Amino acid sequence: MTIFKVKMNDTMRILVLFASLAFLGSCVPNRKYVYLQKNDVNSKVLPKDTVVREYSYEDFAYKIQPEDILSVRFESLTPQQYDFFTKDIQLAGQSLSQQANPLLIGELVDNEGMVPFPVVGKVKVAGLTIYEAQDTLQKIANQYLQNPIVKVRLINFRITFLGEVNREGTITLSNNRVSLMEAIGLAGGLTDLADKKNIKLIRIRNGQTDVQYIDLLDEDFMQSPNFFINQNDLIIVPALRQRPYRKYVGQNVSLAISALTLVVLTINLLTN
């Protein structure tokens, strides 16, 4: 009986060892969790309610691309029957899905970067900022309408998140000046096992696809040209190496240890 108890004690020690290894293997260091770290600064001695660093951004203004959909509104004192710019869109009787279709209320920028208008013809807007396009259309409207006001807005500004985010998928934004941090917030944030140091950004620009990597653990990212997102950006968030261990190995090891512990305790009770 004594020998049996010794073996039981050895078994318990082995189980405790395996449990400890399983726990340590699933741990993620705190430095891989915290966004925008500054390694040369001790946060414990930072003065409170005081600006410790300042970052300046270049004036970011999204430039219109082919396949964008623009909301273009003309308002003027010209009677409606003579105002050929204003669309008479009848939404009554349409389903909600039809009303939500941007093509029903917007102007599609064609592959040549042009938007067609009655009488005036096609107007090139690709390569212009929203305000530059608005100013261009304002000058044209001045020639035909009485005291016109032109309002231009991008209505299909979209980005897509894949990988270790809480809500994968495509997000449509009403604002075209959005930082990557804001966009991540709209996606529900990153999961605990997201690799914030190696986020992949895929961006279509000037007819080519660019692939870049972003480090969200480094505060210097706030000075990156990728701090603001672009139309149709694809952001892929990879998992840390601990993910497969925690998801598969860690869970199975924990279940096995629990089962073995139960068996050992049961036998121990029966033999006492």
50 pLDDT band (50/70/90 cuts)?
A: confident
pLDDT in tens, 124-149: 999 999 999 999 999 999 998 889 99
What DSSP assignment string belongs to 53-114? ----------B--TT-EEEEEEE-SS-GGG-SSS-----TT--HHHHT-HHHHSEE--TTSE
- Percent of all residues in the chain with a pLDDT value above 90, rounded to a whole number: 41
pLDDT at position 158 over 80: yes
Look at strands 157-163 and 233-237 and give their pairing. Answer: parallel
pLDDT in tens, 202-240: 998 777 899 999 999 999 898 898 999 999 999 999 998
Give the pLDDT confidence score for residue 55 in this predicted structure.
Answer: 78
Nearest to 123 by CA among 112, 131, 74: 112
Averaged pLDDT for residues 59-67: 87
Tell me which fold the domain 69-154 belongs to: wza like fold (3.30.1950)
Long-range pairs, 150-153, Cβ under 8 A, ≥24: 150/72, 150/73, 150/74, 150/75, 151/71, 151/72, 151/73, 151/75, 152/70, 152/71, 152/72, 152/73, 153/70, 153/71
33 pLDDT band (50/70/90 cuts)?
A: low
Nearest to 151 by CA among 72, 90, 213, 204: 72
Q: Which CATH number fits domain 31-58+157-237: 3.10.560.10, 3.40.109.10, 3.40.50.720, 3.30.70.1050?
A: 3.10.560.10
95 pLDDT band (50/70/90 cuts)?
A: very low
pTM, entire model = 0.70
> Range with the lowest mean pLDDT among 60-64, 100-104, 171-175, 194-198?
100-104
Give the pLDDT confidence score for residue 91 in this predicted structure.
Answer: 41
The stretches of the chain forming alpha helices (DSSP H) are 2-25, 96-99, 102-105, 130-142, 180-186, 242-244, 251-271
Q: Do residues 201 and 235 touch, judged by C-beta distance below 8 A?
A: yes
> Bigger pLDDT: 41 or 94?
41
185 pLDDT band (50/70/90 cuts)?
A: very high
Q: Do residues 168 and 162 touch, judged by C-beta distance below 8 A?
A: yes
The values of phi and psi at residue 56, to 5°, are: -110, 145
Give the pLDDT confidence score for residue 64 in this predicted structure.
Answer: 93
Give the pLDDT confidence score for residue 96 in this predicted structure.
Answer: 41
Nearest to 173 by CA among 229, 211, 226, 122: 229
Residue that has been written with the tokens 């997000």 in this structure: 171
Give the pLDDT confidence score for residue 36 in this predicted structure.
Answer: 79
Give the pLDDT confidence score for residue 116 in this predicted structure.
Answer: 93
Residue that has been written with the tokens 């279509």 in this structure: 204
